[in-house]
Structures are given as structure tokens and as C-alpha cells.
């Protein structure tokens, strides 16, 4: 059963994949149409009773929002209710800001029956790290807390968080002076589309979850770094470029995650002080895409199996490198908009995998298997990001989850690829050996040819010089072979040569070597044999051949004899001298009447 029966990718399947990618690109171009904020009826969002809050609670169902496109609404207008009719319930766990650069007002009704005295029981408002983009995208994030009389009792400006326990500028402590009903107002503006998963929590619960999340972040980064180190060591051992690029792919992913989770800002604040922090996210996302596409090229051997796609991949990679060079000199909004296209090129590698698999590169199916979680999860999150359907807390964890699954599956794919390459290399090696063997073997008799004889003669004489053992060389020549061919036909001549090969193989020892030297001549290397011992072997060969008779087209049978010359190697004589003396002895045997063995003097 062929591999196509297991993976039935047809031409229609490839075309369908291309159309799906095209539709996804069209969706990116139409991303400004979507918005996750529903325009629902003007019903009032329910009040959140903080006294009942123990762990984190989503503020989404309790929020009302107002879009201030002109950016002329003040906090006084909002608090006094002058624009209250324009607020709409959010009815979603996550607040989505489009890229209109408008001010968004967020309102939530809160009620507290008892003000806690201890800090761990105080409440905080947490917007987390804006997903997909770093905090620099948010230009305004002001928090206000007004009592039932319209008096502003708390005001926190973006970047001026007085609660030093929190590293994020989107976490603010809610300090209630006394029990009662309050209204929370937040004014937010972003230059880029972001999600704000607003939740309320107690300080103690927040710190507990913060420590847990930090531990998970450290664990994930540690596992990824360990995998990168292990695969780099494997690269040093087996010298497979796919492993070193996979290590680079993991390292760029770790760097990107440190920016996304805020760890980079926490431990390398100088980058933000120098104004470079806002370029880190798009730069690392571009670098991640470049390294992954290069890894895909090496893994899939696209230069061999899909050269056209390989050239296009190189163009994408080098354009990304050029983009990284000019990136710090461009507007941040333009940089982030263009950078959004680069993760799509990672999906392009799936098309390359399908093409290479159809061309016979079977490890491509393991690449498809390893990358499929990202293919399933990435576009889902992207569509939610574009506002095509509602973003939820599940999608917040979906992209990191599928990315980690893909990262963990690629070592399996690399292992299977290495096994496949070893099988291919073994087959190539066997083919080379078979080709070399055919080049060194006479096709008619099955004996090694003159080329191998010349090599072995040098090696045997050198070993004799080093070890001092005996070595004899015998040369056989079929008598009157041309006349035999003329009288009985070339078929008989071939049968004689074949019989000669069989007789020699039977007569010699395992340590002896026989060769067809050319035409009707044969050579025999006899290590460990004196010239007289070698002459006895040659006599047995002569007698065995003499007893054979070959059928021919003529009425009489062909009788075959051989003339043999044998010489013993003298120390430091040299292979050419030994060959000359054995040849001269063979010619003397012919001169003495043929069908005899002559020992060289």
C-alpha cells in the first residue's frame, strides 16, 4: 500500500488549502470591519457586589461602554450622567478596542457592604497585559471611582500606579472610604487593536495568582530553553541543520514570550527608557517568523522537492531581514500593521509541506502533524482579534497552548525525519557500494577485474614487506583463445571464461585472491604461499580445466588448455617487478609447448 493511501492529498486538496489561505489574507484586509463590542439594547448592566467576591471575577457582564470618537467627553460629564444614555452593556468577558484611536469610557456599578481593614482583603481592578500588543499601544488608561453622590473618591492615571506590589500599569487598587454604592469609570485609548480582560480581585488572591502565573512562566521558559540547548547539542553531534534552526526557533519564541508577558520590561527596563521597547514586539515576531520559515525550508528539503516554493521562501526571509533593518525608523502603527502579515508566512510552510510530501519526501507528513495544532488555533485567535466573533478567556489560553503543543511535537517530527534520512543514506551508501562493486567486478566471470587487481597487488606487496610473509603471483592465459572463438564461436569462448572463473574459485583458499586481468588472462595472488606451493595450486587448476570439454556448433568438442607462469615476491622488489617476472614465466610456458606451469627464476 502506497503512502498516498494513508495521506490522500490530491490536487484539489492543495487548491483548497491555497484558497483557505487566500480567504484568511482577505479577512486580515477586512479586519477593520469587525468589532467585538455588541450594539445591544440599552439595558443596564447588573451591579457587582464586592462583598461576595473571593477570587477573580470578570467585570465584562457588569460593564457598560461608550465610544468617544471626538475625545471631548470629560469625567465630569460622565459622573453627572450627562451622557449616561449613550452607554451600552458590554455583555462579554473581554473588552475589545479597535484601532480608531478614540476614547472609550467604561462604567461598572459596584456595591460594598463592609470595607476590609487588612490589605490582602482589599480589591483591585486588573486589566492584565493587553493581549497581542505590549502596553505601549495603550496611551490612556485612567481609573476613577465615584460615590453615589457623584463625588470622585479615587483617581489613578496611566503609568502612575501607587501600589508598588504590582508591576503592570493596568492593575489599580480600589480604595473604598466607606461602605456603599460606587461607580467605577475607566477611560482608555489605544493606537492599536487590543483586548482588555477586565477582572476584579482581592489583593491576596491577586498576589497568589500572580505568583502562580510567574512560576508557570518561569517553568515554560525553562522547558523551552532546555529544549533549545538539547537540540543544539544534537546538532553538534549529528550536524543536521534542522536541529540548529529548531533551537533558534525556540529561542526566538522564548524572547517573544518574555515581551508578551512583561518579563522583558521588568528585567530590562533600559530598553523602554531608550524608546526601543515599542519595537521589540514586532521585531521579535518578525524574527520568530523568519527563523521558523528557515527551519521549515531545511526540514522539508524544499530546495530539492519544491524549488519554486523554496525561492519564494528565501524572498520572504530576506525581505523580513530588510524589514528588521528599517523597522526602528518607521512609525510604530505602520510597523505593527505590516508585522501582522509575517505570522501568515508560517502558515505558508504548511503548503510547502504538502507539496514536498506529494513529491515523495515522507517526513513532511510529520511536519504537518506537528504544526497542525498551531494551524487550528492560530487562525481562530486571529479571527477573534479581528472581531469576527467574540473573544473569550478560553481563546486567551488557546494560542499559547497550541504553540506549546506544536513546539513539543516537533522533536518527534525531527526524530522521524532523522530516521528517514538515515534510511535514505543507507540506501544511497548501498547503491554506491553496489556501483563500486560492479565497477571492480568482471560481469562475465564474476571475478574482480584488473583495476582491483592493481590496487590489491600494491597492498599485498606492502604487507609482505612489513610482515615478512611469503607471496606468490600466478598468471594464466587460455591457449589459442582467438582460434577457439573463430572455430567454435564466441558463445563457447564465453563459456570457457566462465568455467575458468568457477574452477579458480573452487581451487584456491579463502585467503587467496583471483582476478580476470583482461581478455583470456587471469591472475592469482597467493599470500602466505611459496612459489612451489603456488605451483601445486596452479597444476590443480590446469588439470581441472583440461578435463572439461565444451560443446560447440561444430561436430567435434572444444578442448581447452592454459599456460601458467608463477613468481614469488622478493623483499623490496616492488609490485611491477613481480608482475613482470610472472608474465615472463607465462610466456615461457607458451614457448615450451603450452598447457604447462613455469616457475619464474
> What average pLDDT does this structure show over 73-86?
86
**Domain check: are 186 and 55 in the same one?**
yes
**Domain check: are 358 and 474 in the same one?**
no
Does residue 73 register a pLDDT over 60? yes
How does pLDDT run across 576-596, given as a tens digit for each residue?
A: 999 999 999 999 998 988 889
What pLDDT, on the 0 to 100 scale, is given for residue 348?
A: 86
What pLDDT, on the 0 to 100 scale, is given for residue 385?
A: 59
Average model confidence (pLDDT) for the chain?
78
**Domain check: are 472 and 336 in the same one?**
no
**Domain check: are 272 and 319 in the same one?**
yes
Q: In what order do the strands lie in the sheet with 471-478?
A: 513-518, 521-527, 471-478, 562-568, 597-599
Domain range holding 578? 450-599
d(CA 601, CA 599): 6
Residue 229 in domain: no
What pLDDT, on the 0 to 100 scale, is given for residue 30?
A: 40
**Domain check: are 360 and 266 in the same one?**
yes
> What average pLDDT does this structure show over 525-543?
90
**Domain check: are 401 and 459 in the same one?**
no
Q: Helix or strand or coil: residue 509?
A: coil
d(CA 278, CA 487): 96
Residue 524 in domain: yes
**Domain check: are 409 and 295 in the same one?**
yes
Does residue 134 register a pLDDT over 60? no
CATH number, position 63: 2.60.40.2380
Q: How is residue 355 annotated by DSSP?
A: H
Residue 232 in domain: no
**Domain check: are 413 and 530 in the same one?**
no
Residue 444 in domain: no
What pLDDT, on the 0 to 100 scale, is given for residue 120?
A: 63
Residue 454 in domain: yes
> What average pLDDT does this structure show over 338-342?
70
Domain end position, chosen among 429, 462, 485? 429
**Domain check: are 101 and 168 in the same one?**
yes
Grid cell in block for residue 220: 515554560
Q: Helix or strand or coil: residue 527?
A: strand
Contact 152, 144 (CB under 8 A): yes
Domains identified in the chain, total number = 3
Contact 289, 283 (CB under 8 A): no
What pLDDT, on the 0 to 100 scale, is given for residue 154?
A: 73
**Domain check: are 246 and 340 in the same one?**
yes
What pLDDT, on the 0 to 100 scale, is given for residue 265?
A: 66
Domain end position, chosen among 206, 225, 259? 206
**Domain check: are 269 and 314 in the same one?**
yes
Helix axes 241-260, 203-238, angle to 10 degrees: 160
CATH number, position 586: 3.30.70.270
Residue 440 in domain: no
Q: Provide the pairing of β-strand 57-58 with 199-202.
A: antiparallel
How does pLDDT run across 403-427, given as a tens digit for each residue?
A: 778 888 888 888 888 877 776 666 6
pLDDT band at 538 (very low <50, low <70, confident <90, very high): very high
Count the neighbouring beta carbons within 10 Å of the beta carbon of residue 102: 15
Residue 221 in domain: no
- Residue 59: its H or E element: none
**Domain check: are 153 and 257 in the same one?**
no
d(CA 190, CA 181): 30
d(CA 398, CA 52): 30
d(CA 85, CA 77): 12
pTM, entire model: 0.59
Residue 209, CA atoms < 13 Å, CB-side half-sphere? 16
Residue 497 in domain: yes
Helix axes 575-591, 450-467, angle to 10 degrees: 120
Amino acid at each position: 500500500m502506497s503512502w498516498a493511501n494513508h495521506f490522500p492529498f490530491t490536487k484539489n486538496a492543495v487548491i483548497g488549502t491555497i484558497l483557505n489561505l487566500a480567504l484568511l489574507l482577505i479577512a486580515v484586509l477586512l479586519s477593520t470591519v469587525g468589532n467585538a463590542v455588541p450594539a445591544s439594547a440599552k439595558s443596564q448592566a447588573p451591579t457587582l457586589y464586592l462583598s461576595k467576591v473571593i477570587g477573580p471575577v470578570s467585570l465584562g457582564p457588569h460593564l457598560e461602554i461608550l465610544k468617544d470618537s471626538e475625545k471631548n467627553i470629560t469625567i465630569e460629564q460622565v459622573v453627572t450622567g450627562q451622557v449616561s444614555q449613550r452607554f451600552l452593556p458590554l455583555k462579554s468577558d473581554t473588552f475589545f478596542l479597535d484601532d480608531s484611536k478614540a476614547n472609550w469610557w467604561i462604567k461598572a456599578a459596584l456595591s460594598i457592604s463592609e470595607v476590609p481593614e487588612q490589605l490582602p482583603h482589599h480589591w483591585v481592578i486588573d486589566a492584565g497585559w493587553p493581549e497581542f500588543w505590549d502596553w505601549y499601544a495603550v496611551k490612556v488608561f485612567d481609573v476613577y471611582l465615584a460615590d453615589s453622590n457623584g463625588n470622585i473618591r479615587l483617581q489613578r492615571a496611566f503609568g502612575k500606579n501607587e501600589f508598588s506590589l504590582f508591576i503592570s500599569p493596568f492593575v489599580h487598587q480600589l480604595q473604598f472610604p466607606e461602605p456603599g454604592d460606587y461607580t467605577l469609570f475607566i477611560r482608555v485609548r489605544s493606537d492599536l487593536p487590543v483586548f482588555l480582560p477586565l477582572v476584579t480581585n482581592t489583593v491576596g488572591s491577586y498576589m497568589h495568582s500572580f505568583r502562580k502565573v510567574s512560576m508557570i512562566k518561569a517553568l515554560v521558559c525553562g522547558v523551552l530553553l532546555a529544549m533549545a540547548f538539547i537540540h543544539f547539542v544534537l546538532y553538534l553531534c549529528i550536524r543536521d541543520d534542522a536541529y540548529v534552526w529548531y533551537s533558534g526557533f525556540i529561542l526566538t519564541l522564548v524572547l517573544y514570550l518574555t515581551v508578551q508577558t512583561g518579563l522583558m520590561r521588568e528585567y530590562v527596563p533600559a530598553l523602554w527608557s531608550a524608546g526601543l521597547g515599542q519595537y521589540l514586539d514586532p521585531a521579535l515576531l518578525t524574527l520568530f517568523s523568519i527563523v521558523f520559515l528557515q527551519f521549515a525550508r531545511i526540514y522539508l528539503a524544499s530546495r530539492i522537492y519544491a524549488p519554486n516554493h523554496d525561492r519564494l521562501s528565501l524572498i520572504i526571509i530576506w525581505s523580513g531581514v530588510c524589514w528588521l533593518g528599517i523597522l526602528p525608523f518607521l512609525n510604530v502603527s505602520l510597523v505593527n500593521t505590516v508585522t501582522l502579515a509575517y505570522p501568515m508566512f508560517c502558515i505558508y510552510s504548511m503548503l510547502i509541506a504538502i507539496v514536498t510530501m506529494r513529491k515523495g519526501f515522507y517526513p513532511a507528513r510529520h511536519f504537518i502533524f506537528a504544526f497542525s495544532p498551531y494551524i487550528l488555533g492560530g487562525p481562530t485567535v486571529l479571527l477573534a482579534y479581528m472581531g469576527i466573533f467574540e473573544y473569550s478567556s478560553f481563546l486567551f489560553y488557546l494560542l499559547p497552548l497550541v504553540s506549546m503543543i506544536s513546539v513539543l511535537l516537533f522533536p518527534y517530527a525531527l526524530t522521524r525525519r532523522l530516521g528517514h534520512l538515515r534510511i535514505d543514506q543507507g540506501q544511497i551508501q548501498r547503491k554506491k557500494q553496489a556501483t563500486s562493486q560492479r565497477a571492480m567486478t568482471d560481469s562475465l566471470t564474476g571475478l574482480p577485474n584488473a583495476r582491483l587487481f592493481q590496487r590489491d597487488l600494491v597492498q599485498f606487496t606492502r604487507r609482505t614487506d612489513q610482515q615478512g610473509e611469503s607471496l606468490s603471483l600466478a598468471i594464466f592465459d587460455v591457449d589459442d583463445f582467438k582460434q577457439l572463438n573463430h572455430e567454435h564461436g564466441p558463445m563457447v569462448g564465453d563459456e570457457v571464461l566462465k568455467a575458468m572463473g568457477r574452477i579458480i574459485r573452487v581451487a584456491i583458499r579463502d585467503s587467496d585472491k583471483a582476478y580476470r586481468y583482461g581478455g583470456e588472462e587471469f591472475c592469482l595472488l597467493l599470500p602466505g604461499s611459496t612459489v612451489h606451493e603456488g605451483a601445486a595450486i596452479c597444476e590443480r587448476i590446469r588439470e581441472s580445466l583440461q578435463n572439461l570439454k565444451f560443446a560447440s556448433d561444430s561436430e567435434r568438442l572444444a578442448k581447452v588448455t592454459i599456460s601458467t607462469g608463477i613468481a614469488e615476491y622478493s623483499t623490496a622488489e616492488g609490485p611491477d617487478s613481480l608482475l613482470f617476472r610472472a608474465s615472463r614465466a607465462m610466456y615461457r610456458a607458451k614457448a615450451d609447448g603450452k598447457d604447462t606451469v613455469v616457475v619464474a627464476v
